[in-house]
Chain A
Amino acid sequence: MDFLSLFPYIGIVLLVIINAVLVMKRDIKVDRSGDDIQTK
């Protein structure tokens, strides 16, 4: 199996890890009547 065939498997793992880190760093707020109203 060559590298480019293998890459998607590695790529997906890296992607979900990077995504998780980015989400944890973000300040997320959603609006519901009475709740805070700002989003970033």
Chain B
Amino acid sequence: MDYIREHYLTLLLTSIYVAGCLYIGWHFKKKAKRGVEGYFVAKREIPGWVISLAFFSTSASTNTYIGQAGISFEYGLSWAWMGLIWTFFCVISWQLLGPRMRYQTARLNSYTIPDYFHLRYKSNLAKSIRVLSAFIILFATIWYMVGIAKGCAHVLTSVLDITYEYGAFAIIFITCVYTIWGGMYSVLWTDAIQGIIMFGVAILMLMIPFIYLGGVDNVMESISMTEHLTKSGKPIGNGLVVFGKLVSFLYILGIGLSIGMKQISEPKNLIRFYSINNAKSMKFAMIWTPVFLGVSLVCVMGLGALVHGMTTVEEANYLINNTDEVIGFMLNKFDNRLVSGICVAGLFAAGMSSLASVIIIIGTAFVNDIWHAVKPMPVAKIIPRTKWVMGIYCLMVYIFTLYPMAGIVELTAFAGAVFAASFFPAIFGGLYFKWGTDLGAISSMVVGMLVNIIWRFGFRFNYPALEDVHEIIPAFLFALITYFVVSLLSKNRRPDEKHLSNVFD
């Protein structure tokens, strides 16, 4: 009873939110199972404001609201540059890729990113690209999902005193259920609701340190010169407000690129373009998605730094080594049940929107782009098998969540680097260059993967000068160059003019 008395508001708000998501999933159950086009891309009939919010909410997750926000506790306000880099790539994604992707995928009857490669480059080798890219998705996504589930579980532990194991189970299970029920309809509409919540919560969370400390001046005074210590035990001093003092710009750039560039390469983002219903919606989303993302990131990215003003020296010493717990600490310290309840709902929204998006990508990648591509199955079996795979994958994620492998930020960054380097050249080339070939695409993918792995495990941490050079930088450059060079050298492999005319004209 004491537990209920203490947590009733947070439980109530969270329950309303969860019930809403499950209702949406249930509501679209029948519509989603009518056909593959419905289940996979919601029949390309979704309005722009839904897609815009969905893109925003899927881009920002608990990795952002907890991991990124928390890490600025260690790195200071310099970390806000991450927000600028992300917003920049959001703009690039919508300006460069959005309209063309929507156009070509409708022309090709494409339902996934891997099958876009197959249909666009049109060859047996292109089928191998489809299967390879699906494997890359399966490999890279699990790290990302584990990171999100871990973040959400921490929130549940610090705010609702629910054990980590139960918290992780709840978040994964609930998301899995409504995603399996409603397919892409469910994913997009819950994402849109979650986006609205996340936007509001970002602004609300930013207000907390200012309210707690009694105004802007007090906050700035408390963080401009602090006796708190860095991880290595040195005084932070004015490092929180001086650019580059606690973290190198190169490191910020690396993480920023690897996460920001996911918006121009990761299937969970790009698949949004498939579902937009018309040109007016596309324009709306092109304008408003960067606004939603940019404003939210402005609020969230420097938040950890501000929390220094709310901590004692002992608390700061603990949190500097556990930055994933900074936001939970902030909510606890502020000690307002309504605010905590709303923020917890927002943090769940952040996590679940991204989780749902990748769950459906996993299902479609495995069933449509590996299984069906290699051994075609009756169309009627595609959706049921996709649902089963989604369920099994979620179970695997849960197990890995109980035994996570690395910090949230680094996990996400590596997955992002893999996608950006392996996928972007083949997508961009496919959209813009008639002379792009299947060989160019697959070469760039392989090179992107290899350089990522070799740089990270063979070079980066073996040479001090390279430590801050994130693997995404060389991997992306090498992959892009590979695409251009190999495509130009294999011009004879380009699809026939009739096909290219259908795709481009």
Contacts and interface: CB of A to CB of B under 8 A. Distances in A.
B50 to A, nearest CB: 16
A28 B387 CA distance: 35
Given A4-B244, A30-B99, A15 B88 contact: yes
Contacts of B243: 2-5
A16 B294 contact: yes
Interface string A1-22: 1111101110111011001101
B99 A39 contact: yes
- Interface size range on B against A: 35 or more
B106 A12 contact: no
Contacts of B294: 12-13, 15-16
A30 B220 contact: no
B282 interface: yes
B81 A8 contact: yes
Contacts of B76: 5
A5 B415 CA distance: 28
B241 A5 contact: yes
B290 interface: yes
B244 A28 contact: no
Given A1-B220, A5-B80, A28-B286, A39 B87 contact: no
B279 A30 contact: yes
Given A5-B243, A22-B95, A23-B287, A31 B107 contact: yes
Interface of B: 44, 76-78, 80-81, 83-84, 87-88, 91, 94-95, 99-100, 102-103, 106-107, 220, 224, 241-244, 276-279, 282-283, 286-287, 290-291, 294-295, 297-298, 301, 505
25 contacts: A1-B220, A2-B243, A4-B78, A5-B76, A5-B242, A5-B243, A7-B84, A12-B83, A12-B87, A12-B298, A15-B84, A16-B91, A16-B294, A19-B290, A23-B94, A23-B283, A23-B286, A23-B287, A24-B283, A26-B283, A28-B279, A28-B282, A28-B286, A30-B276, A32-B44
